[in-house]
Amino acid sequence: MFLVGLSGGIASGKSTVVAVLRELGCAVIDADVIARQVVQPHSKAHQQILQHFGPEILLENGEINREALGSIVFSQPEKRRLLNSITHPEILKEMLKQVLKYFVLGYRYVILDIPLLFETRGLTRFMKYTVLVYCDPPTQLARLMKRSGLGAAEAEARISCQLPLEEKRRWATHVIDNSGDWEGTRRQVLQLHTRLEDSLDFLWARLAVGAAAAGLGGLLFLLIRHFIS
């Protein structure tokens, strides 16, 4: 089994790409979804957030007020680092559990949708491939503003909390350019899917060659032993 890391920037189109990959039957683990689960009331992360950010960060029903927490952490780097240090270990633990589940279910590769894949030191080392969902900066800003209702300055501040997409582009093994229309993106995702499936065939071919080589070696050894004795 191998892992494929999928990343991008805020509002660059990861969820859009993931929806197509799921439609094609791929196993996808979404770090944003897990990030929501691990801060549910009574969890360890929830208690720590309450302790460090105070009760004003909670909604009336006890859940985290994500909008309020977002305004704090996206404008104060040290608070963002604090939130990351609380949530990231929990997110990674849960992701690992889900990878194991897919492994047991017999999936041959799993796609991990991790917004901060390239920002998190050492994480890409576990990925056979890394896919960047790219979007040109003006389009990314416009889509983020439209989706969130944020003004330009605040939306730009959120984008600048992550490494620039141009830089991530240099690290990725595959790039999907989502600057254009849905159809263009869908075509690129279909191509990526074909490559991932082909790479499986390639793995099986390598295993088959390896097994054949081992078999031939064994036969040769038996023949040599037979003629020597």
Ligand X SMILES: CC(C)(COP(=O)(O)OP(=O)(O)OC[C@H]1O[C@@H](n2cnc3c(N)ncnc32)[C@H](O)[C@@H]1O)[C@@H](O)C(=O)NCCC(=O)NCCS
* Cβ distance to ligand ATP smaller for residue 27 or 176: 176
Q: Closest approach of Cβ 106 to ligand X, in Å?
A: 27
Does position 12 interact with ligand ATP (CB under 6 A)? The reply is: yes
Q: Which does 116 bind (CB under 5 to 8 A by kind): ligand ATP, ligand X, none?
A: ligand X
* CA-wise closest residue to 10 among 157, 187, 192, 180: 157
* Cβ distance to ligand X smaller for residue 20 or 31: 31
Percent helix, strand and coil across the chain, each to the nearest 5: 65, 10, 25
Cα(186)–Cα(121) distance, integer angstroms: 30
Cα(181)–Cα(150) distance, integer angstroms: 23
Cα(168)–Cα(27) distance, integer angstroms: 23
Q: Closest approach of Cβ 38 to ligand ATP, in Å?
A: 17
Does position 178 interact with ligand ATP (CB under 6 A)? The reply is: yes
Q: Which does 185 bind (CB under 5 to 8 A by kind): ligand X, ligand ATP, none?
A: ligand ATP
Name the residue type at position 44. K
Distances (CA, A) of 194 to 2, 26, 111, 130: 16, 12, 14, 15
Q: Which does 70 bind (CB under 5 to 8 A by kind): ligand ATP, ligand X, none?
A: ligand X
Task: Pick from 60, 78, 181, 201 the residue near ligand ATP by CB under 6 A.
Answer: 181
Residues that bind ligand ATP (CB under 6 A): 8, 10-16, 32, 115, 143, 147, 178, 181-182, 185
